[in-house]
Structure 1
């Protein structure tokens, strides 16, 4: 990416999207909306002083919500261009509240709250669609417990936990403990505010809170508005007190996940959702299990799947190495349900199709290998480009031309085409670039001959 950003013949338009495409190849006129960052890219040095002082903390979606970021942020450390962006959804200043701390802090004077979106028109000879994919949302499969059982996560969330630059710096802390540690300070602040309010009430009325609650809880309809409000506050006070104890216990455990379960084909090879195979999930789960074992040698991983599709060069050997050296167990079967057990441990109920038995097994963490589905905005982009989609929502290509879309001069590569792993995506991207150059040269020669 750094080479792309520095290349004299490449114009990188980050934080932008295509609004319209007019004309025909090789003279497309493309209108691009460059979104307002509220930060001047030319002035910003990426020092991060603004980020450190920003008072607004929100979930970090680069870390899949497992970490936190500020309202002014850089998407990730190696991002190009090396600049910051203000999120208008969370920025106090942009939402009419008094703040502006980042502007006062920035030594380069790069903050500009008046910045607006801008429209640019460029002329191009060919277009390559490389919009990637979106992970399938497993919460639509209730039996897997995603979003309900706290220690059931997706493979991308697990990827961020494994990363040294992730929210846990590579330690396999469970989400239940991570969330408890994050929630505790917020609950404690509310608890202190309520406690002070109750103390004022006791002092002004010369009563004991606990006794007043016991004597009047059953007489709510006979209390005045102040009394009913006080009863509600005291119940919330007791609820918070109990919650704080639970969170403290959970946060102090800081349990390292050692018993890992990987559930394959979540949303894919399933007629209810996407009947196709997502291609890379099996090897991705094996890779993650091997890395987890490198981080924590006591880790034991179980991969549940209808079958393991190790079709690439060296993939079968990699699969066997995982079993021999990283304590990976492969279970042929289908997971029927994931429920919460003791200590927030997920319990997997599955059918072992080799033994033809239904079994239950407890784990520390369950990782769902979700389907590769068309990226968000694919349908809108296909309409803008006037390109057809397949029945599954990926960009359609011509018969016999795997890189050519249904519109001349527009090509496709990577997971915008269909599910594939990184090496295949890179190879296809190189092919699409070569095909675009070939297309432009052929049209240039035709015009010269004419």
Structure 2
């Protein structure tokens, strides 16, 4: 059997990028397969990291640049794995490339198409906070810097054709399939978030000031839809107090019985960063158990309490009610340390939704055997 000195990496988040760089530096040819328009994954959506407070984009930008420039790495964007045949050392991986309706070789990333596009739709990269055009890149630092025409929303007005000086628009582009010869496959497909709208008692999707922690991350980011300003979606006002609810859809036998592991630290970080943006902001975290699982993590929580004034209450929120006039939110919760029932009103609520496998992960697992 002839061994193949190439490896396919599926998924281009922080793990996929690092795996690709490590393999490429070891001399292997790497095919990095990503179903989205850009590499970077979930970490590109974050503002800062814990417990250091480092800029998330500053952490991944060097890796993004390294992946796009490395001579041993070939990017397959807008692509999905559809089949795998062969055996270890001699696999044939079938990859379907979906059209982005832009010539990837011709596009210069100038953004002229987006500037003239008249269609605005909810921005998925910002988890629905803010808008984007039908001609778009997910975020300013996207790599490769190539625009996409979203045909689900395109009205075929032709303005992008007129604005595009390199003549890169390809409305008739179709999908294509190719086979990659690889010796091994690395799967790094990342995670998605549990949709908390299924938990009716929290009012997500009905109460405008109840948002997820990923939406809050985009709000905190200087490159996000609010330019780093913490505001209430209902009226654009700055909140005076924010509640963070842990284990939303996790540690729940009806939904996801496991702990998502990172949520306690993520909410602590978000509360700290929010108070850095607005020092007088009152932040309150409602939790089942605080799980500080890594080096320096407990010290990070202690600092959140003593230095930043973040409040913690052990207890699961039973229900959220919205005041019809003010859109403020009343939380019903039992303090499990004192046994007392509490009612507290907040301007905003941030839900730490459970982490779940990324869409299509189950199907991919079956495809790969």
Fold shared per TM-score above 0.5: yes
**Structure 1 CA distance for aligned equivalents of residues 180 and 141 of structure 2:** 28
Structure 2, unmatched stretches of 5+, are 1-63
Rg comparison, structure with higher value? 1
Aligned partners of 1:262 and 1:367 also within 8 Å: yes
1:28 corresponds in structure 2 to 91
Query: C-alpha separation between the residues in 2 aligned to 1:59 and 1:306?
Result: 33
In 2, distance between residues paired with 1:300 and 1:312? 26
Query: Where do residues 209-224 of structure 1 align in structure 2 (5 Å cutoff)?
Result: none
Q: CA deviation at 1:24?
A: 1.0
- What is the aligned partner in structure 1 of residue 349 from structure 2? 366
Distance 2:299 2:145 in 1: 40
1:92 aligns with 2:155: yes
1:30-79 deviation per Cα after TM superposition (whole angstroms, max 9, x unaligned): 11111111101111111101100001111111111111111110011111
Residue 120 of structure 2, aligned match among 57, 62, 67: 57
Cα distance between partner residues in 2 of 1:19 and 1:257: 47
- Superposed CA offset, 1:108-147 (max 9, x none): 1111111111111110000011000110011111111111
The match for 1:77 is: 140
Aligned to 1:268, what secondary structure does the other structure show? coil
Report how far residue 102 of structure 1 moved. Answer: 0.1
Calculate the TM-score normalised by the size of structure 2: 0.81
Shift of residue 175, structure 1, vs aligned partner: 1.1
- Please tell me whether residue 48 in structure 1 is matched to residue 121 in structure 2: no
Is residue 326 of structure 1 aligned with residue 308 of structure 2? yes
Counterpart Cα distance in 2 of 1:256 and 1:144: 21
Alignment: residue pair count: 305
Identify the structure with the greater strand proportion.
Answer: 2
Equivalent residue number for residue 17 of structure 2: none
**Can you give the 5+ residue segments of structure 1 that lack an aligned partner in the other structure?**
94-98, 178-253, 387-450
1:116-265 → structure 2 map (5 Å cutoff) = 116-177=174-235, 254-265=236-247
1:110 & 1:18 partners in 2: Cα distance? 26
TM-score in terms of structure 1 length: 0.67
Q: Deviations over 1:149-189 (max 9, x none)?
A: 11111000100110111110010111112xxxxxxxxxxxx
Q: Output the aligned Cα RMSD.
A: 0.9
Map 1:272-311 → 2, pairs under 5 A: 272-311=254-293
Other structure's SS at 2:350 match: strand
Is the contact made by 1:163 and 1:170 (CA closer than 8 Å) also made in structure 2? Answer: yes
- 1:320 Cα offset (Å): 0.7
Larger proportion of helix: 1
Aligned with residue 114 of structure 1, among 151, 172, 191: 172
Q: 1:327: Cα distance to partner?
A: 1.5
Among 360, 363, 366, which residue is 1:380 paired with? 363
Match of 1:266 among 245, 248, 265: 248
CA distance in 2, matches of 1:117, 1:133: 26
SS of aligned partner of 2:128: coil
Would the aligned equivalents of 1:300 and 1:326 in 2 still touch at CA under 8 Å?
no
- Contact in 2 for aligned 1:151/1:174 (Cα 8 Å): yes
